Amino acid sequence: MLNQMEEKYQTVIRLKYLYDLKISDIAFIMNKPEGTVKTWLYKALKKLRENFMEVK
């Protein structure tokens, strides 16, 4: 399911949960404001939850 998401969402999820990075570190790596990274993370998690509910 992650591979079907937009690349920016994939990147944020991977950096946060696979590499255990802080939002500030992800923002620095992606050269984006922290608020943008938080929004992308929120939207990515929401999409994953919705997709899992559809599969159930």
Using the predicted structure, report yes or no on whether residue 46 has a pLDDT greater than 80.
yes
**Nearest in space to 18 (alpha carbons), one of 30, 27, 26, 7:** 26
Position of tokens 């509910």?
A: 53
Position of tokens 């994939």?
A: 10
Average pLDDT (15-39) is 98
Average pLDDT (21-43) is 98
User: For position 13, what pLDDT does the model report?
Assistant: 96
User: For position 3, what pLDDT does the model report?
Assistant: 87
CA distances for 32 relative to 19, 24, 35, 39, 53, angstroms: 18, 10, 8, 11, 30
Confidence band for 1, pLDDT divided at 50, 70 and 90: confident
